Structure 1
Amino acid sequence: MKNTYLSTALGLYLNYLVHGMGVILMSLNMSSLELQWQTNAAGVSVVISSLGIGRLSVLFFSGVLSDKFGRRPFIIFGMICYLTFFLGIINTHNILVAYAFGFVAGIANSFLDAGTYPSLMEAFPRAPGTANVLIKAFISAGQFLLPLIISLLVWAELWFGWSFLIAAAIMLLNGVFLLRCTFPPHQGRQVTAARPAPDCAAPPVKHRCSVIDLASYTLYGYVAMTTFYLISQWLAQYGQFVVGLSYTASIKLLSVYTCGSLLCVLITAPLVRKTARTMALLILYTFMSFVALLTVCLHPSVYVVVIFSFVIGFSSAGGVVQIGLTLMAARFPHAKGKATGIYYSAGSIATFTIPLITARLSEHSIADIMWFDTAIAAVGFLLALFIGLRSRMESRRLVHISPLAE
C-alpha cells in the first residue's frame, strides 16, 4: 500500500546520517582539536561529554511536549542546533566555548529523537520496529562515510574542518527539503480523548508497565547506549595505541564496524514485526556484543580486532538500542514521545558520564576502556534476559485474562 509519508521518512532518516557523523566527528578529529583548543585527549573527551549533558537536559521534556504540540517543530529546531554545533566547533579556540557548542549538539540530538521516533511509529503503525531500526542504518551509514571523508582530507592535506562543513551542508539541504514535507498527525491527548469509552462488561486487556519493567527498560537504555558509544569513540584509538595500527588504518576500523551494523539492520528490519521475535533478537545481540568485546580484549591482534570490529558493529550498533525503545514504547502506546524521552534520557546520561570515566581510564591505558566496555556489555546481557523473562510472564498473564475479558 502507498504511504503518503515516505518522503518525510526519507528526510528524517537523512538527519540521522548526519547525526551518525556528528557523534564521532570530534573523536576522529581529536588530534586536530587538541591543537586548536590547546588541550589533550582527556580535554577533548570532556568536551565530548557535553553532548550527553545537553541531551539529558531537555530530552524528557521535549518528548512530553512533542506528544502535546506535534513533532515537526522539535525536528526543525534540532536541525538548527546541529548547524550551530558544526559551524561553532571549527571556529572556536577556547575549550569552554567548545563545551557550550557540544551542549547545543546534545540539545539537537534530544529534539531530533523526541520528534523523529514518534513520527516514524505514527507514519508506519504496522511496522514501528522496522521504521525505528532503519534509523540505525542511516546512523551507521554516516559513521561509515565519515572515516573515508577524513582519510581523503588527510591524504589531500586539507583542513580538518571540511568534515564539519560537509555535515552542515547536508543538514541544511535536508532542512529545506523537510519544510515541504507532510508529517503524520501525532497521537497525543487527542487520541486518548477520541477513543470511545470501554464497555464496562468487557474491559479491554491492557499491556501494563510496572515500575520494575520501567526501571529495567530505562537501565537497559543506559547500558545499550554505553556499549556502542564506547566503541564508536575509542575503537580507532584502541587500534592505534593497543593493536599498533597506523592512524589511517585505525580509523578505518570504524568503517568495518559500521559495515557490521548496516548488515545487522538489513537482517533485523524484516524480523522485528513481532514482539516475541524482537525480544529474542534483543537477547541474542547483547550476548554477541559481550562475547565479541571479551575476545578483542583477550586477543588484541590485527586480525582479531578487524574481524570482531565487524561483529561488534553487527551486535551493538545494528539497531539494538532502537529495538529496546520499540519494546518500551509498546508499553506506552499513547505516549510514545514520553517513552522516547525516558529511554533516551538514560542513554544521554551514558553519553555524559562515560566520557568522564574514559578520560580517567585513558590516562592509564586505552586497553582498560575496552575492558570497561566488556563489563558493561555483560550487564546488558543480564538485563536483556531479565526483560525477556518479564515479557514472557506478561504474555502468560494476558493469555489467562483474555478468556475472562470475552
Structure 2
Amino acid sequence: MRNVSNKKYYVTAFALYFAYFILGIASSIMGQYKTEFAKAWGATTLSNGTLDVSVVVSVIAAYGLGRLIAYPFAGPVSDRVGRRISGFIGITLYAVFFFGMISAQSMWFAYAIGVVNGIANSFLDTCVSPSVMEIFPKSASIANLFTKFAITVAQFVLPFVLGLVASAQLSYKVIFVGCGILMVIDAILVLILPFPQQDKTKKATAGSAVKLQHHFTVASVASILLGFTSSATFMIWLNCNQELGTSYGIKDPSVLQSFYAVGATIAVLLTAQFIHMGLKETTILVLYPSISISMLLLCYFITSPFILYIGSFVIGYAAAGGVLQLATSTTIGFFPASKGLATSLVMIASSVANYAVLTAAAYLTKVTGTSAPRMIILMNVAITFIGVGLALVVKHYSQNAKVTIAEA
C-alpha cells in the first residue's frame, strides 16, 4: 500500500466500527429475551412449567447458517466490486434483522430473519476487516482487533440498556427499533464516506497462480479452522450462560453479561498493547484458548455462583477478547492480495461453528433438561481443546514462514 496519509478515512473507520458496535448488540440480545421471543412465537410449555426456549436457540443458530450461505459470495464482492458495496449491503440487512425480528409471529419467520442476520454479518465482515487494515496498514492486526473492541463495548452497555428499558416499563422492542434506525443512518454514511484504494490483484500469470495456490499450507488451513473453534468457545458461553447461572442459583444471570463484556474489553486493550510490545499473534492464539479451557473446567467442577462471575470475566477475556480477529489477521497474512476472500474463509469456519454448536446446544437443552448447562460446558471444553491444537500447528509452521501480518 502506498505510504500516504490516511487521516481522511478516519471518519469512515469510525462508521465501520460503529456498525460493529451495533453488531455486538445483535449478537447477544436474542439470548437476553429468550422467554419473550418464545412466547411471541407460540413455543410449547415443558413438563416443568417453563417455556421451551430451545426454539429461540435454534433461531440464534440460524445466524450461522446465514453466514455460511453468504460468505462464499461476500468475499468476492468485497474484493472485486468494492468494500463500500459490501458494507452497505451488510448494514442495510442488519436494519432488516432488527425490524424483522420484532415483527415475527412464528418461529419459522424468525428463523428466516435469523438467516438474514447471518448474511448481514458476512457482508459486513468482508468490508470492515479489510477496510480498517487498509486504513491503518502499519497496525493492521491491531486495527482488526479493535472491531472486537467495538463489539465488547456494546455488550458491556447492553445490560444497562436492558435495565433502563425495564425500569421505564417499555417493551424490549424499543431496543430493536432504535438499533434498526441507527443502522439505516450508518448505511447512508458508508455510502457517502471515502474508502481507501484497494490493493488490486495484478493480472495473474502462471507463476503468480501457483504462488497463490501455494498459500494453502498446513498452517493456513489450520488458521482458517481456528475460525470454528474460537467462535464456538465464546458463542456457546454467550448464548448459554443464562441457564447455567440460573442452575447455579444466580437470581439475575444477565449480570454475567457485564462481567463477560468487561473481560473482553480489557482483553482487546491489553492484547493490542502486547502485540505492540512484540508478542506474536500465534502465541496469543495458543495461550488464550488454553486459559479458556482451564476456566470452563473450573465452572464445571465448582457449582457455586461466584465461579460464574469469575468465569464470565475470564471467558470474556480469553475467548471473546479478539482470538477470532487475530485468526482472521493471521489468515489474511497468507492471502495478502485477497483480503476479502481470506476473511470469508475464516468466517465460513466461524459460521459453521455458530450453526453447528448452537444447534447441538439446543438439542442438549431439549433432551437433557436441567443437566444441559453443564453438559454444554463439556462440549465447549472439547471444542476449545481442538482449537489449542490448531493454534500450535499455526505457531509451529509459521515460525519459519515469511508471513507479515501487520503489513498484509
TM-score (norm 1): 0.90
Supply the AA of the counterpart residue of 2:391. Answer: A
Aligned twin of 2:248: 243
* Contact kept? 2:148, 2:268, Cα under 8 Å: yes
Write out aligned runs for 1:167-206 (5 A): 167-189=179-201, 192-193=202-203
Q: Which residue of 2 aligns with 1:389?
A: 396
Give the whole-Å Cα distance in 2 for the aligned partners of 1:333 and 1:275: 21
Alignment of 1:2-401 (within 5 A): 3-39=7-43, 40-189=52-201, 192-193=202-203, 209-240=215-246, 242-246=247-251, 249-272=252-275, 277-363=280-366, 364=368, 365-394=372-401
- The one-letter amino acid paired with 2:259 is V
In 2, the alpha carbon distance for the partners of 1:291 and 1:393 equals 30
Shift of 1:179: 3.0
Distance 1:256 1:281 in 2: 21
Distance in 2 (alpha carbons) for counterparts of 1:282 and 1:307: 21
SS across alignment from 2:197: coil
Name structure 1 gaps, 5 residues minimum.
Answer: 199-204, 399-406
Q: CA RMSD in A?
A: 2.3
Deviation at 1:41, TM superposition (A): 1.0
Q: Is the 8 A contact 2:224 2:327 kept in 1?
A: no
Distance in 1 (alpha carbons) for counterparts of 2:212 and 2:23: 36
Q: Displacement, 1:37? A: 0.2
Aligned partners of 1:2 and 1:334: how far apart in 2?
A: 20
**Structure 1 counterpart of 2:47:** none
Go from structure 1 to structure 2 and tell me whether the alpha carbon gap of 1:38 and 1:286 turns closer, same or farther (over 3 Å shift).
same
Query: Structure 1 residue 172: deviation in Å?
Result: 2.2
Write the distance in 2 (CA, Å) between the matches of 1:251 and 1:282.
28
User: Which whole-Å deviations, capped at 9, do the CAs of 1:280-338 have from their partners, x for residues lacking one?
Assistant: 12211111111111111111212111112111101100111101111110011111111
In structure 2, give the amino acid aligned to 1:99: Y
Aligned length: 385
AA partner of residue 67 (structure 2): R
1:151-200: CA deviations, max 9, x gaps?
222333321111212221222232233333110112233xx2499x99xx
> Per-residue CA shift, 1:361-398, capped at 9, x if unaligned?
11212211112112211111121112111112436x99
Amino acid at match of 1:369: I
Query: How far off its partner does 1:150 sit?
Result: 1.6
State the one-letter code of the partner of 2:364: L
For the 8 Å contact 1:208–1:331, the answer to whether it is kept is no
- The one-letter amino acid paired with 2:12 is T
1:346 CA displacement? 0.5
